[in-house]
């Protein structure tokens, strides 16, 4: 396999180069020969939706996904309704950016009731499915590491995400597999297999030992303990052949020059993923 061919599924999640604008990140990908980018709504808003879409199109860089919808649970019905409206806007933005995947970070616990919060997630996704279907957007439920259960996602395992997909029974809904969140799970391979046909994204990075920070502790592929190739093989065996996004929240990497980060990503991707 030539170098170029083996980078054909690589995508830069733009939070990996957090200091770059959308324009800088898209230019960086084009320069580095990285064919796709995962965008974030807050950074897209800074550049404007229209400009972001045009920049990607003109550079020939595909938008592999948009982060993020979700955050369904809330203490009041009024707040939950506002979150649903925000998800509809996110779906519109995904459509405008020519991606067909909106990543869902489902939300935490509004009060001391994780079971109730999980029901709010299921209800919230059910409510936005028709709107997503009309616009051709698929909703990727991303289980987050259990350390984020309280404040970011009560959906913590692939098993839960798969159950939600099976319960919702819509071709619009699938899952996003980020190795950082699921690598530890003894059921990880079983649940990846179960997700056959509804895997909408695969994110890579690494788990550093010891983790330097709860939120910003992700490492570059190869710097930690995750068996990336084992998980990639499982995901491919389950039929996923779309983009592999590199998503790393790490202050040290954010402080590096963006082009150097992209070179390192390519090297590590070829070596470890």
Question: Min. distance of Cβ 54 from a second copy in angstroms?
Answer: 37
> Cα separation of 139 and 136, whole Å?
10
Give the list of residues 6+ apart from residue 58 with CB closer than 8 angstroms, or none: none
Do 57 and 98 contact (CB within 8 A), yes or no? yes
Q: What is the CA radius of gyration of the chain?
A: 18
Structure-block tokens of residue 261: 């980060």
Q: Which of 57, 70, 56, 58 is closest to 12 using CA atoms?
A: 56
Question: Min. distance of Cβ 41 from a second copy in angstroms?
Answer: 21
From 88-96, 111-119, 132-140, 249-257, give the range in contact with a second copy by CB under 8 A. Answer: 111-119
Name which position in 20, 40, 72, 183 contacts a second copy (CB under 8 A): 183
Q: E-assigned strands of 120-254?
A: 138-141, 173-178, 199-204, 206-207, 218-219, 244-246
Question: Min. distance of Cβ 210 from a second copy in angstroms?
Answer: 6
Sign of CA dihedral 159, 164, 169, 173: negative
Residue 232, interface with a second copy (CB under 8 A)? no
Residue 185, interface with a second copy (CB under 8 A)? yes
Nearer to a second copy (CB atom), residue 182 or residue 244: 182
Name which position in 151, 241, 263, 271 contacts a second copy (CB under 8 A): 151
Residue count, binding to a second copy (CB under 8 A): 33
Hey, which residues between 120 and 149 contact a second copy (CB under 8 A)?
145-147, 149
Binding site for a second copy (CB under 8 A): 108-109, 112-114, 118, 145-147, 149-151, 154, 156-157, 159-160, 183-186, 207, 209-211, 213-215, 217, 224-227
């Amino acid at each position: 396999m030539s170098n170029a061919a083996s980078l054909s599924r690589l995508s830069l999640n733009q939070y990996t180069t957090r200091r770059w604008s959308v324009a800088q990140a898209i230019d960086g990908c084009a320069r580095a020969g990285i064919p796709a980018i995962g965008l974030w709504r807050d950074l897209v808003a800074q550049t404007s939706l229209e400009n972001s879409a045009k920049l990607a199109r003109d550079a020939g860089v595909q938008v592999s996904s948009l982060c993020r919808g979700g955050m369904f649970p809330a203490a009041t019905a009024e707040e939950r309704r506002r979150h649903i409206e925000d998800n509809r806007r996110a779906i519109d933005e995904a459509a405008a950016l020519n991606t067909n995947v909106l990543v869902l970070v489902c939300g935490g616990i509004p009060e001391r009731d994780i079971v109730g919060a999980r029901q709010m997630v299921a209800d919230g996704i059910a409510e936005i499915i028709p709107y997503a279907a009309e616009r051709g957007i698929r909703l990727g439920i991303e289980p987050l590491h259990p350390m984020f259960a309280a404040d970011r996602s009560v959906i913590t395992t692939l098993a839960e995400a798969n159950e939600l997909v099976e319960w919702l029974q819509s071709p619009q809904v699938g899952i996003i597999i980020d190795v950082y969140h699921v690598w530890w799970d003894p059921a990880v391979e079983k649940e990846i297999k179960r997700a056959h046909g509804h895997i909408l994204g695969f994110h890579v990075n690494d788990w550093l030992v010891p983790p330097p920070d709860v939120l910003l502790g992700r490492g570059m592929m190869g710097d930690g303990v995750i068996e990336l190739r084992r998980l990639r093989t499982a995901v491919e065996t389950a039929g996923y052949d779309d983009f592999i996004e590199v998503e790393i929240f790490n202050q040290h990497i954010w402080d590096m020059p963006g082009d150097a980060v992209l070179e390192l990503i390519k090297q590590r991707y070829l070596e470890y993923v």
